[in-house]
Structure 1
Amino acid sequence: MSTIGDSSGTGSTEPEETPGQEEATVADGRVSDAVDSREEETTEELSRDLVFDVLKNRRRRYALHYLRRADGSVQLSELAEQVAAWENDTTVDAISAAERKRVYTALYQSHLPKLDDASIVEYNQNRGIVELSDASEQLDVYLDLDAQPDIPWCNWYLGLAVAGLGVLTAAWLGLPPFSLVADVLLATLIVAAYAAVALAHVYFTRHAAAANEAPPELQEA
């Protein structure tokens, strides 16, 4: 008696894959591998020259400060209003239309495209939406005020005062080698030391402020 059904006699009911199905499976695997490889790619490191070039402009620093505090993407109009308020040391409600427009135009035409080209933000110019990219995290060390080293300048001045007093006392008591140096020369050296520390203090303060200037309300926080 013949068996009706599978001519091979195995009794298998599983459908065989056609050549088209096999090609689709291979294609899906390749797409999956491509997606996985893109996900595994690390964020490209920003060069120091690029970071300094981006942060040398105060308006761009203000924009980055605001985007860091935002949760996700923000409207360009909203960003421009806050940056204009910071620049004019006032509130958003108090800025004029001209101040708002000036900042909006500069962000729209120049600053945000520059940040987008540097892969620091993701900027949709047509929709007027901007948000930080993953690469922007590399700027945190430069934008964060707490990242700046806290040089105890008062200790430097106090140390100079103690050292100067000790040198003058030793000269007054006739202790060598200070007794061999004229009083005028000792005083000149002490004044020169104070001047050097003062100049270093001024230089550091100005350059630190230029590189890491935070919006007024963050400075007060």
Structure 2
Amino acid sequence: MSRSTTLSEGEIFEILANGRRRETLRHLTETRDGAVTLRSLAIAIATAESGQSPPPPPVRESVWSSLHQTHLPKLDELGIVRYDSDSGTVTMCDSAPEIDTHMEVFVWNGLSWSELYLALGIGSLLAVLAVLLEAPFVGSADPILGVSISLAMFAVAAAAQLWPNRLDMLRMLRRS
């Protein structure tokens, strides 16, 4: 029994407050067709939690049980996944991109987008200050060049972050 209304920010944060729900969504997002079996999902999450492959049976059973009884029914009720408990399949729903924006992690080295932007901002500020203060190696550079390069890096980062969301948004608009 799933719904099609937009999730409130509180509901999204409640969903993401639980590690197993976050891992479920991450695993489904990384799966090409967005569909997995409960068994394979439980094994993947238990492996991540235990750090052992294959995961110990008690961990795998604990994950399977909590997914089956609590997390997947909740995600299904909210319209984020489609969980068929009879066949044991879990499929990502169209409303999942709504949650993706709150889960976004820049893949390289596990940085969040906000950490990347902070690093770009601080690096850009230091580079421009180095040019203005005529620091060795960069003192002869034009400050406009430093600012232009900094802005270009921000633009590339923003495009990399927003491009996948734009495609998801276009798909959602076409269905409306």
* TM-score normalised by structure 1 residue count: 0.48
| Aligned 1:1-221 pairs, distance under 5 A | 44-70=5-31, 71-91=33-53, 93=54, 95-146=55-106, 148-149=113-114, 150-152=117-119, 155=122
- Which letter maps to 1:79? L
Q: How big is the shift at 1:136?
A: 0.5
Query: In 2, Cα distance between the equivalents of 1:124 and 1:137?
Result: 21
Counterpart of 2:140?
none
- Which letter maps to 1:52? F
Q: How many residues align?
A: 115
4+ residue runs of structure 1 moved beyond 6 angstroms? none
Query: In 2, Cα distance between the equivalents of 1:120 and 1:65?
Result: 12
- Which letter maps to 2:7? L
Counterpart of 1:203?
none
SS of the equivalent of 1:134 reads coil
Query: In 1, Cα distance between the equivalents of 2:120 and 2:29?
Result: 31
Query: In 2, Cα distance between the equivalents of 1:120 and 1:72?
Result: 11
SS of the equivalent of 2:5 reads coil
Q: How big is the shift at 1:99?
A: 1.0
Q: How big is the shift at 1:154?
A: 9.6
Percent of aligned positions with the same letter in both sequences? Answer: 31
SS of the equivalent of 2:91 reads strand
Closer/same/farther in 2, CA of residues 152 and 131 from structure 1, 3 Å limit: same
Structure 2: which 5+ residue stretches go unaligned? 107-111, 130-176
Query: In 2, Cα distance between the equivalents of 1:66 and 1:90?
Result: 17
Q: How big is the shift at 1:69?
A: 1.2
Query: In 1, Cα distance between the equivalents of 2:67 and 2:90?
Result: 11
Q: How big is the shift at 1:153?
A: 9.5
Q: How big is the shift at 1:44?
A: 2.8
* TM-score normalised by structure 2 residue count: 0.59
- Which letter maps to 1:148? W
Q: Deviations for 1:52-93, whole angstroms, at most 9, x for unmatched residues?
A: 0000001110011001111242110000000001111233x2
Structure 1: which 5+ residue stretches go unaligned? 1-42, 163-221
Q: Deviations for 1:141-170, whole angstroms, at most 9, x for unmatched residues?
A: 1122036313239949x98xx9xxxxxxxx
RMSD: 2.3
